[in-house]
Amino acid sequence: MRKIYLDHSATTPVDEEVAEIIRIYYTEKYGNPSSIHSFGREAKKALEEARLRVASLIGAKPEEIIFTSGGTEADNLAILGVAGAGQSKGGHLIISAIEHHAVLETAEYLAKMGYELTILPVNAEGIVELDSVGKALRPDTILVSVMHANNEVGAIQPIEEIGRIVREHGAVFHVDAVQTVGKIPVDVEKLGVDLLTMSAHKIYGPKGVGALYIRKGVRISSLLHGGSQEKKRRSGTENTPGIIGFGKACQLAAQRMTEEAEKLKKLRDMLLNGIVERIDCVKINGPLGDLRLPNNVNVSINFVEGESLLLSLDMLGIAASSGSACTSGSLDPSHVLLAMGLSHEVAHGSLRFSLGRQNTVEDIDHVLEHLPEIVERLRAMSPLYHQAAKKK
């Protein structure tokens, strides 16, 4: 069966070039970068080249990059690290309502430990409104964390403007840029951020590798104690092959970004428009145009449930994701969709297609050909649809 992968925001295939370089550092150039012999020095050198490549993609200096085991660890390190570096055990944190769980739950953990937490609302398009930031800031605010673009609905946030407000106040500004790095331009200077999270496996790099950008001068305490790797800020034998793969993936992303974004935007809009044209009672979630990630499509298909949609698509070889509770392991549907004001019922019927490098017009046509029949079949089975039809 033909398989169409449309879940690139969950994870991406590793680029063949990246995979090959990783293989070499696994089996041939396998030294521990802390070792002083030639194997170690070879690994160390490649590690530092990778750091440069990662830094370049976001306009940072290499010494401002710390490698981690992924976006989740980088988010945890940013938030727990700022809290841990503070003088007092307490203070005020601000995050947005649509943060990834890695930020949300870490902030909630600190709230349980005695920190105060303000959660910024978003508008119906999933965008943080600037005046809410100014209002939320307090003299004891130590950290503001707002993601660059949301992973579910693709809403790009006004980071530069928020950065300006936060900088004036003096709090540390953290941005989870897992979904934007490599997809749209990210420049830490322009954005005015202090800490920025990246993850390799969202940009055709390996899983289990990420990075935290830490602006020179920003103090954070470390999460992992032990060896003195990463200038004592992140202990543990470096995952050199993974990091080198991440570096390569960043390099490739830099080269391909503009062209790829153009292509993806066309496919994205084809799919968005196609769904709306072919299926009734559909709502597009998130903004349109340039405020939307080039690769994100998110719709709520009323009267049907997300997991059923996914399973049906999967049987046709189409891989997507949903904000349905059934796919999140919790009882509530996506906190992002709820924050945008969707009802539980509508949120349960949401569907995300996230496009990637390999996708083609044929892929989109295939989805558009089959999605309507799937929806029709599920709606025919749905007690809600019948009621709605009757009401009309």
Partner 1 sequence: MYSEKVMDHFTNPRNVGEIADADGVGEMGNPQCGDIMRIYVDIEGDIIKDIKFKTFGCGAAVATSSIVTEMVKGKTITEALEVSNKTVAEALGGLPPLKMHCSNLAADALHAAIKDYFAKNIKE
Instruction: Give all strands of the β-sheet with 350-354 in edge-to-edge order.
Output: 282-284, 296-301, 350-354
Q: How many residues bind a second copy (CB under 8 A)?
A: 76
73 binds a second copy (CB under 8 A): yes
CB 176, min distance to ligand PLP, A = 5
* Contact partner at residue 304 from a second copy, ligand PLP, partner 1, none, CB < 5 to 8 Å by partner kind: partner 1
The strand pairing partners of 94, in sequence order, are 118, 144
What end-to-end distance do the CA atoms of the chain give, in Å?
40
Q: Which string of x and - marks every residue 194-213 that binds ligand PLP (by CB under 6 A)?
A: -----x-x--------x---
* Contact partner at residue 355 from ligand PLP, a second copy, partner 1, none, CB < 5 to 8 Å by partner kind: none
The strand pairing partners of 292, in sequence order, are 155
Q: Give dist(CA 87, CA 223) in Å, integer.
A: 17
Cα 286 off chain centre by: 15
Which residues have CB under 8 Å from 226's CB, separation 6+? 235, 236
Q: Which amino acid is located at 18 in the chain?
A: V
199 binds a second copy (CB under 8 A): yes
Q: Where are the beta strands (DSSP E) in the chain?
A: 4-5, 65-68, 92-96, 116-120, 141-145, 172-176, 195-199, 210-214, 282-284, 296-301, 318-319, 350-354
- Tell me which of 52, 97, 223, 326 is the catalytic residue: 326
Q: With contact defined as beta carbons under 8 Å apart, do 275 and 282 qualify? A: yes
Kindly tell me which residue out of 81, 91, 163, 241 binds a second copy, with binding defined by CB under 8 A: 241
Q: Which long-range contacts (CB under 8 A, 24 or more apart) does 259-263 make?
A: 260/183, 260/294, 260/357, 261/183, 261/184, 261/294, 262/294
Residue whose CB is less far from partner 1, 17 or 48: 48
Query: 3-state DSSP call for residue 214?
Result: strand
Stretch 344-383 residues interacting with partner 1 (CB under 8 A): 344-345, 348, 380-383
Stretch 263-322 residues interacting with partner 1 (CB under 8 A): 303-308, 311, 315
Sign of the dihedral defined by the CA atoms of residues 297, 302, 308, 312, in that order: negative
Q: Give dist(CA 291, CA 293) in Å, integer.
A: 7
Kindly tell me which residue out of 57, 60, 76, 95 binds a second copy, with binding defined by CB under 8 A: 76
Q: Which string of x and - marks every residue 122-161 that binds ligand PLP (by CB under 6 A)?
A: -------------------------x---x----------
Active site residue 326: yes
Residue whose CB is less far from ligand PLP, 100 or 348: 100
Kindly tell me which residue out of 31, 70, 206, 287 binds ligand PLP, with binding defined by CB under 6 A: 70
Residue whose CB is less far from ligand PLP, 230 or 305: 230
* Contact partner at residue 179 from partner 1, ligand PLP, a second copy, none, CB < 5 to 8 Å by partner kind: ligand PLP
Residues at the interface with partner 1 (CB under 8 A): 36, 41, 44, 303-308, 311, 315, 324-326, 329, 331, 333, 343-345, 348, 380-386
Q: Which residues are catalytic?
A: 326
